[in-house]
Amino acid sequence: MFNVGDKIVYPMHGAGVIDSIEEKDILGEKQSYYILKMPGEVKVMVPTAKAEEVGVRNIIDKNSADAVIGVLEQDETAMDKNWNKRYRDNMEKMKSGDIYEIADVVRNLSFKQKEKGLSTGEKKMLNNAKQILVSELVLAEHSSKEEIEQLIDNKINTSFMMFRSEEVQPQSIVNKFIPFDSTSTGTEE
């Protein structure tokens, strides 16, 4: 059971604050609802009786927030080469509501976007995952949306350069078209 003022996470929507708990009559059925104030002045109603079942949980604490940020500093985890399978796998991670899994999706898709771009569906998924991650870190870190977005971008850029800089470095135009063989001397014997 959550209380008014609690900071909670609603999977696939992000983090928010319980603004009130109200009794509503919807389709002839009276139920108690958490009224969540989400980022962007969005309000969401979640039946109190089903809150745990749908994955509503308290936001992470400061130590967990540091660990989540640490996920962004790591190399990407293995992802399927097939975009359809990769999309389904990432969607499962997001549906789990696990902030570490969501950070994993943000980092992996950000790396993929930097390397070769993303499909429209994966771009949308990256934006959604990032919004969910930002919303929870804003509340956990008591920071602004802009500060958290900048922090996430900086961590991803730094880790991408650390883990991918050698792979992304452009080859010399000479080496690209005229492979250098160190065993040859350039003369025929």
Tell me the per-residue pLDDT of 101-123, one tens digit each, with 9 for 90 and over: 999 999 999 999 999 899 999 99
- Mean pLDDT, the chain, integer: 88
- Give the β-pairing of 7-10 and 57-58: antiparallel
DSSP annotation of 178 reads: S
Dihedral pair phi/psi, residue 9, rounded to 5°:
-115, 135
Task: Look at residue 16 in the predicted model and tell me its pLDDT.
Answer: 95
Which has the closest alpha carbon to 46: 38, 28, 34, 30?
Answer: 34
Q: What CATH number corresponds to the domain at position 24? A: 2.40.10.170
- Name residues whose C-beta falls within 8 Å of residue 189's C-beta, 6 or more positions apart in sequence: none
Find where tokens 């993929």 sit: 112
Residues 35, 73, single domain; the answer is: no
In a domain, 185, yes or no: no
User: Would you call 177 exposed, middle or buried from its count of C-beta atoms within 10 A (0-12, 13-18, 19+)?
Assistant: exposed
In a domain, 87, yes or no: yes
- Residues in the chain where the model's pLDDT stays below 50: 168-189
Residues 13, 89, single domain; the answer is: no
Provide the residue range defining the domain that includes 24: 7-58
Task: Look at residue 188 in the predicted model and tell me its pLDDT.
Answer: 46
